[in-house]
Chain A
Amino acid sequence: MTISFLRTINEMIIDAIMDADSKDIKSKIGTQGFPTESEIDNVKANIAAAVQHARKERLAEKRVAFESYKRSLIDRSHESASQLRSVPEMLSDIVTALNNSASVPKGTLVAFREQGEGGNDEDIRKIWLDLVDLGLVDPDAPK
């Protein structure tokens, strides 16, 4: 006599439950040894909450990943764009763009003039990149 025989019989009892007709199973809900309607409702509510939580978490993770990807794209484009021009050339692009007052909103013009006052090379590079981002300077245009 071995315990594995009893394990086999117990598995057969479980198989019988798994194979039983849906109507039979439904009729047993709430009877001794079976979950009640409210216990089943709790399980369903917990599943819905767990799925919602997982979806929110995944969305937040994807948002963070997208923001980081976007940032890396911008950084890369800035890096390659600024390699196309020297500082004097950037300054020339800026002057051309700001002098073209027809295509630059007045507020932007003032803001850039203020930002550029007494600026160093880094400020000039930053203004140039901002103007590239705004589409006011074409980094690929002939020098």
Chain B
Amino acid sequence: MVSANQQSGEYYEEHEIQQQLLDMDQVQITRLWKSYELSGSEERAGMTGGDVLGAVVKAALTPKGSKGHRGWKRDLPLEVYFRMTGKSIFDNESNKRANQGILPETGDVLEQPEIGAENPDLDIYAPTQSADKTAQEIQSTGLISAMTEKIFQLFSDDTEALCYLQGKLDECKKQVIIERCQFTDKIYRNVQSRIKDKVLKRFPNGLTVLDLDS
């Protein structure tokens, strides 16, 4: 590993990036692969987690000043750089596809026609330009309500988690949630951690592919 203290400059040098890429292990690759797919890379941009990883590696290795270069700041850990760059890459790809009139994959998205018949795919990461329109369309189907209720039900016996979720639903900042729910910093983190663990267990494939049956 290259020590940041050994080098100066805001961005990693090319040889430092190369070494970090070569040092990537199975666990890092698996986490990133999964994170891209949970963000809907396949449904929205037709890119598997492996495709996105490859595109990020290419961008990281592209020299400064060349097309496709994405600078890597020293204060960004590898996972953060890969998540941010990967998301940006498949957002761009998704926008390109939207402009070309290519519809998102809908194969295994929803199997409950009475809820999602008019809008079979719930794309919670729809491109910015069309986000409002997509959100309005989806809201009209009641899908969001159904999904939100499902999440709240998961925590019906956990009042702290319910208060946290209500705060998030009301789009409150951390400090407001802490005050509203009378949390300490530590309790806030514990509640957050409990919610993360539970939603991961309940929705291991994320919310881009909804399973409203179970």
Contacts and interface: CB of A to CB of B under 8 A. Distances in A.
Interface stretch (A44-52, A82-90, A124-132): A44-52
Nearest to B123: A3
A18 interface: yes
A34 B35 CA distance: 10
Interface in B180-214: 192, 195-197, 199-200, 203-208
Given A17-B34, A50-B57, A29 B14 contact: no
A43 B199 contact: no
B207 A47 contact: no
B37 interface: yes
Contacts of B144: 1-3, 5-6
Nearest to B22: A51
Interface of A: 1-10, 12-20, 22, 25-26, 28-29, 33-35, 39-40, 42-44, 46-48, 50-51, 54-55, 58
13 contacts: A1-B139, A6-B144, A9-B151, A10-B206, A17-B34, A33-B204, A33-B205, A35-B30, A35-B34, A43-B33, A51-B22, A51-B61, A54-B18
Interface of B: 14, 18, 21-22, 24, 26-27, 29-31, 33-35, 37-39, 49-50, 53-54, 57-58, 61, 63, 79, 83, 122, 124-125, 131, 134-135, 138-139, 144-145, 147-148, 151, 168-169, 171, 192, 195-197, 199-200, 203-208
